[in-house]
C-alpha cells in the first residue's frame, strides 16, 4: 500500500511540477515547454525520494531513468515556437527542452543524494557535524 501511495505521489508531483514550471516560464516570458520539463523533472525526482517508503536512493534513481526515457519520447524532436521572440529560429530543431529537463532532474537527484548523506537514523534531516 505504501508503494502505491508513493507512485501516486510521484505522478501527482510530476503533474503539479509541469504545470507550475510552465506557468512560471510563461509568466516570466520564457518558452513554456522547457519550463514544464524543468519543473516536472525536478519535482518528480524530489517527490520520489520523499515518498519512497524504503530504498529511497534506488527508487529515486529508477524514477530518474524512467523519466528520462519518457521525456525523450515526448520532447524529441522539439522545435522553436513561432513568434516575435524566436523570429530567426522559429520552427527550427532544438534540443533545449530535453537538455533543460535532464539538467534539472540530475540537479534534483544530486540534492537528494546530499540530503540522504545528512539524514539521521529516523531519516530526518540533521545538520552536518562541525
| pLDDT above 60 for 78 | yes
pTM over 0.85: no
83-101 average pLDDT score: 74
pLDDT tens digit string along 35-74? Answer: 888 999 999 999 999 888 888 899 999 999 999 999 898 8
Query: What is the percent of the chain where pLDDT is above 70?
Result: 81
Structure-model confidence comparison of residues 67 and 129, the more confident one: 67
- In angstroms and rounded to an integer, the radius of gyration of the C-alpha atoms of the chain is 17
Mean pLDDT over the full length of the chain: 83
112 neighbors 49 (Cβ within 8 angstroms): yes
**Domain coordinates of the chain in residue numbers?**
2-81+90-117
CA distance 115 to 51: 14
82 neighbors 91 (Cβ within 8 angstroms): yes
Instruction: Detail the DSSP E strand segments found in the chain.
Output: 78-79, 93-94
CA distance 81 to 78: 9
CA distance 35 to 55: 30
Tell me if the bond preceding 49 is cis, omega within 30° of 0: no
110-121 average pLDDT score: 82
* Helices and strands, number each (H, E), in the chain: 4, 2
100-119 average pLDDT score: 90
57 neighbors 113 (Cβ within 8 angstroms): yes
Amino acid at each position: 500500500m505504501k508503494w502505491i501511495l508513493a507512485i501516486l505521489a510521484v505522478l501527482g508531483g510530476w503533474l503539479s511540477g509541469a504545470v507550475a514550471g510552465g506557468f512560471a516560464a510563461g509568466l516570466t516570458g520564457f518558452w513554456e515547454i522547457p519550463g514544464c520539463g524543468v519543473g516536472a523533472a525536478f519535482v518528480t525526482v524530489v517527490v520520489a525520494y520523499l515518498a519512497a517508503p524504503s530504498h529511497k536512493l534506488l527508487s529515486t534513481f529508477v524514477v530518474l531513468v524512467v523519466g528520462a526515457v519518457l521525456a525523450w519520447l515526448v520532447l524529441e524532436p522539439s522545435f522553436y515556437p513561432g513568434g516575435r521572440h524566436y523570429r530567426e529560429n522559429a520552427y527550427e530543431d532544438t534540443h533545449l527542452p530535453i537538455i533543460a529537463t535532464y539538467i534539472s532532474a540530475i540537479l534534483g537527484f544530486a540534492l537528494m543524494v546530499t540530503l540522504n548523506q545528512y539524514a539521521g537514523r529516523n531519516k530526518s534531516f540533521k545538520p552536518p557535524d562541525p
